[in-house]
Each structure stands twice: as structure tokens, then as C-alpha cells.
Amino acid sequence: MFLKSAAVAAALPLLALAAPLADIVGNGSTVADDGKYYVESEGIRANFIPYGASISNLWVTDVHGLDRDIVLGFDNASYYGIDQQHPHLGGVPGRYANRIKNSTFEIDGEVFHTDPNEHGGLNTLHGGSNGWDYRNWTVVAHTTDSITFSIIDEDGEQGFPGQVISYVTYTLTPYQWHLRMTAVATTKKTPIMLSSHVYWNLDGFQNPDEPTALNHTLSLPYSGQRVGTDGILIPDGTILPNQLYDVNDFWSSPKQLGANFSNPDLLGNCGTNCTGYDTCYIVNRAQNGPYDWHDKPVATLASPWSGIQIDIFSEQEAFQVYSCGGQNGSLTIKETQGFFNTSRPRVVPQYGCVVMEVEDWVDAINQPEWQRSKRNIFGPGDGPYVLEATYNFSVNHDLSAAYNASKATLSGY
């Protein structure tokens, strides 16, 4: 792709924000025969692929002392571009993540129409049918503990105005996964909102008693509100309270994702006739005054069976939770997951995972009253779009011990 000199100049601040470029060959890093790029640090290792700048495997050690691969993906990197379901496994949706109402938005009085790729053409999802997680990114740096991808999104692609240049850097440090996403609009004002669309099962589908992720405990300490949506999950402009002890209350105390599945209020919570979660929660940290996003997590997910816990830190001001109600057993699990000598099918069942996305408020480009334009619209004279997050992995021994004690009590021992 050809970059005009002005575009290159506009992208220079972005280059400075990306990880230092390293030789892809000869630095001790590994690229496997299956097309995956290996990255590792103490207590954690992961595989990444250029397709969608996606994470395909992530291993951490559980309470039993065993390494579990806790993210969904495919065994071979080449299959990501072939699979017809395209569930956005571990990729970077862009240039505008989540949904755009009516596949339209307006900037400075001009109306733009994006690719209407969901609900029969009623809206745009994750940037359109050729969004960023449908494309092969360029690997510009790869070391033993880090990898950087880049993409150039041209003017008019999927209906978005202007060229955008983006870099995504993933780095592993002991027991942590760090991600930094930067993007610069080089020629015109345009919407930019990215995220990391990872499907998690903290048991690696190896819990003999529970095939789903509904046993996972979730805490959202700053999320007393959520974005209101219609029956196809398009924001309707309202900000709704998550009342104490209701189905969307994950802020007052942690609770299992399946804790309220018998509550009739959960029906329709993730769209018409849908039971579960596909919800954009607002992150309300500023109410407590100035904060450093590194200090406290915006979300914590833990499994009582494996004991694996993730604390998610980010400077983003919304957090999407999807409880995988749309999974129906048609997506297979990897060779590194599940069981081989049991009758349990080697597939992802309904509610067999949970997606957690750090992002901004969904479809804020169509809700001017929210006053989010400075976090959603970027032009050549603006600074770069930036998203940062850290995933901290640990073992929650107390949660696991309580689970085992409860199980022993129920079994009569």
C-alpha cells in the first residue's frame, strides 16, 4: 500500500508509541510450523497469529500445578481465514469495535455508511465483513517475550473515511499479559475504537463436573451502570442502573456468571429471547477522584475448579461481557484443551466461555449527548488513539478451597 509523505509524517508519533522494532529472525523468538508466533515469560506462555493480530493460545498454571490453555482458538493459524463462523476468536476488531446503529454515523454534518454485516443489514458489527480481525496484519517485531503487529486501513474501507495506521503490541512479563493498541488517523476525521476479543474458559474445558464457564466468578467493582440496548443489542441512548442484587450487579460483590440463570429477569438481558449477558458495563472510577489505572482492576474473573484468576487493569471506560449464549456446539476446542477419553463432545457448548472486552461506550459515535467524541473521533491533527490493558494471572487458593469443601460436603465426605 502506498503512503503519501503527509500520512507518513502523521504516523510518526504512533511509531514512537509502538514497541521498539526488533529483528523478526535471530532474536531467539520462535515461529512454529503451524504458523503461530511463540511468546513467553515466567509463569505464562502464549501463541499469536497475524490473522486479526489474534491470540490463539495462552497457558498458565492452575491450583493443581498443571498448565491450562484458557483461551479459545484453532490448532492451525491457517484455519482462521477459512472458518465460516468467524466468531472473532482472540482478534482485534476494528476500526470500530462492537455495533454501529443503522450502519451510519455523522462527522461534521457528513453522513457515512458502513458495511451492514449483522442482523440482515440493520447494523455494523466489529468494523464490517472485512474488519480488522478478518485481515492478516504485518509482524513488525517479535522477541521471546513480545510481538508487534501493524495494519494500514485505507480511506473508504468498509465505508469509513480516511486512512488509519495502527500498531498492536503484546508483551508477557512474569504472570502478566500486557497489550497496547495505538492508531493514527492520517488523512480525515474517522471513528476509532478497538478492543481485544478473547474467549476465555479458565478450566481449559477440563473440569469433569462442569463443561461451561457459568461456574466462573466475576467482579466488576466500578460498574454500577450499563448501556441500555434494544432487542438486537443496539444502544438506545439510555444509561441504566445495575440495582443492588439484580442480575447485572457484579459491583457489590463477586458472583458466578450462572448465579442468576433461574431469575426470569435475565431473559432478554442479552437481546430478545436471550438469557445471559452481552452487556456493556460502564467503568465509573472517576467518582473517587484521580486514579492510576494500574492500581486496581476493572474486572476479576476466577474459576473455583482450576483456581485460575485474572485481574484486568485498563484505562478504558467500558467493559463488555458476553456469556457465550450463542455457542451451540459447532465450534471445536483445540488439541490442547478438553478430554480425549470421555463421552463429552470436543466442542464449545452453550455458555462454555466468556468474552471480556476493554473498550469505550458502545456506539458512542451515534450518541452525541454522551459527549464521548474525543475518545471516539480522531483526525490528522489529533493525538493517537490509545488502548492499554494488563491481565494479571494468579491462583486463588481460597476460592478453590471453598469449592472443594463445598463439594466434599455435598458428597457426604
pLDDT tens figures, 329-349: 999 999 999 999 889 999 999
Q: What pLDDT is stored for residue 341 in this prediction? A: 87
CATH hierarchy code of domain 37-222+299-411: 2.70.98.10
- Residue 95: cis peptide before it, omega within 30 degrees of 0: yes
Q: What pLDDT is stored for residue 119 in this prediction? A: 96
- Distance (Å, whole) CA 317 – CA 361: 7
Q: Which residue has the cell 470436543?
A: 346
Domain range summary for the chain, segments of one domain joined by +: 37-222+299-411
Helices (H) and strands (E) in the chain, counts: 3, 26
- Distance (Å, whole) CA 56 – CA 80: 10
Q: Which residue has the cell 465483513?
A: 129
Greatest C-alpha distance within the chain: 74
Q: Catalogue the active-site residues.
A: 197, 357
Q: In 3D, which of 134, 177, 149, 194 has the Cα closest to residue 320? A: 194
Residue 78: all three cell numbers together: 491457517
Q: What pLDDT is stored for residue 288 in this prediction? A: 80
Q: What pLDDT is stored for residue 410 in this prediction? A: 73
Q: What pLDDT is stored for residue 412 in this prediction? A: 66
- Distance (Å, whole) CA 304 – CA 234: 34
* Amino acid of residue 221: P
pTM, 2 dp: 0.93
Q: In 3D, which of 75, 68, 20, 10 has the Cα closest to residue 49? A: 75
Residues (pLDDT < 50) of the chain are 1-10, 12-26
